[in-house]
Amino acid sequence: MVQRPHSARFMPGTWVFPGGVVDEEDALHAAELGFKPSADWEVAALRELAEETGVWVTTEGTLSLPIVDDVLGAIGESSHEFGLDRLTYFSNWITPSVFPIRFDTRFFLAIEMDGVDVTFNEQELIGVEWVPPLEALDREDRGEWDVAFPTRKTLELLGSASSTAALMDMLESLAPVPPIEPRLAVGEDNARILMPDDPDFEAAGPSQRDPTILERLSDVISDGGRVPAEFKRRS
């Protein structure tokens, strides 16, 4: 997991998985290598992982290499090739509809049997650490880490399996992967993110069209109310 800078506009100081935005170069790289059209998601995931941590998941194995700015250019000039077939797509989160800027985020898993050294891109991050899922959750519970809601739910999923083999069996049973679109609930002194199986999820439906919901969220944040990590503000 990696830690975002405290100065970041979005989720400052939060511990997340390496990731980023799918761009045109990812699609071009996938097309040049003859991958399926949707492989730009996988290319982006592996590119961002390499850019942020120096971890390269290749067809030959997982490598620890120096941080470079142009990962796609570097791998194109090397003898390596991204190991797209080593990725398991298992989760798709969509930002609640109340927000003007929304993200369609996919999570991928790669199994690495041997330890791999990691570093981090100091222009984008302030920390990196290999950590068992349940330990990451304990650190959040103890107030040592801030973890975004989708990240926490993903850690809970990863930590629920008794072994790597059991985890893979569970994730492969999820195909096709259903999108998860939570809802936002705002009270007087708190804000919550609701999952579709939450008892309050259906009741929160009408409030998603309330034009004041984001203003009320801002008031709760300003007043120091209890909110998920992705809504916290830091100076």
Closest CA to 112 of 135, 143, 82, 87: 87
* 76 Cβ contact list (under 8 Å, min separation 6): 29
Confidence of residue 234 (pLDDT cuts 50, 70, 90): low
**Global confidence as pTM:** 0.91
Asked whether 132 and 194 are in contact (CB, 8 A), the reply is no
> Which is more confidently placed, 45 or 234?
45
Say how far apart CA 218 and CA 124 lie, in whole Å: 26
The class level of CATH for 2-181 reads alpha beta
What are the pLDDT digits (tens) for 171-213? Answer: 988 878 999 999 999 999 999 999 999 999 999 999 999 999 9
Confidence of residue 76 (pLDDT cuts 50, 70, 90): confident
> Which is more confidently placed, 174 or 222?
222
What are the pLDDT digits (tens) for 6-18? Answer: 988 888 899 999 9
Say how far apart CA 48 and CA 52 lie, in whole Å: 6
Say how far apart CA 8 and CA 30 lie, in whole Å: 30
CA 155 to chain centre: 10
What are the pLDDT digits (tens) for 106-132? Answer: 999 998 877 788 899 998 999 999 999
Output the average pLDDT for the chain.
92
Ordered by start, the domain boundaries in the chain are: 2-181, 182-235
What are the pLDDT digits (tens) for 29-57? Answer: 999 888 887 899 999 999 999 999 999 99
Handedness of CA 71, 152, 223, 181 (dihedral sign): positive
Is residue 233's pLDDT more than 80? Answer: no
Cα distances (angstroms) measured from residue 18 to each of 52, 125, 148: 7, 10, 13
